Amino acid sequence: MAYNSEKFDQQTADLENLRIELGNTEAALDKLQKLLPNDSIQNLLLIINQKMSDGISPQRMSSLIAGMSKDAKCTEAALAKRIVIHTPVSQAKNGSISFYRGLITITAKGSPTVNEDGNPEAWFDPLKPVTASFTLPGGETQEASGLLPLYHTVVVQNKEYRFTIISERRSFADITVQSCDL
């Protein structure tokens, strides 16, 4: 077989170009792998996407995350109050409570319990979802819904308020809040 110098030179140049292309591809792949989220960040992205589909704005989530610090300093004792969970058949007129001298006001509503005759009672059914409304300074309202216990966090200025709502006696729920510096 005859030696073809021109063909050899062309194949050598092609090989060198392929090596350069492979190096560039590996560098691009490495860069993309560094950008891909790990499992923790993927879980966080799932939560963010769910909250966005629930109607929470990306700006609000961004400001909450930006306000967080590694070492949250929280009050040791949580404040606790009892609230009436309103139902469509309850007669209670004033079921709101306030924390921190009226800074945050909370109301709650739920589904009525049904008696053995199938009639609704005035008190809420703790086995059904409850909706709590948190009214902040300026009139902004945030809602948290779900089965009890229910957890919700409110950020006002440089404070984070962590609320827990648990079922108590019939018709009532207990709300505790802990205040943390951001």
Which pLDDT value is given to residue 39?
82
Contact 151, 142 (CB under 8 A): no
3-state DSSP assignment of residue 91: coil
Identify the three-state secondary structure at position 86.
strand
Per-residue pLDDT of the chain (182 residues; tens, 9 = 90+): 556 888 888 999 999 999 999 999 999 988 888 887 788 888 888 888 988 898 888 877 776 676 666 666 887 677 899 998 999 888 766 679 999 999 999 999 999 999 999 899 888 998 999 999 999 999 999 999 988 889 898 988 888 899 999 987 777 899 999 998 87
- Specify whether the CB–CB gap between 81 and 174 falls below 8 A: yes
What pLDDT is stored for residue 18 in this prediction? 94
Is the entire prediction scored with pTM above 0.75? no
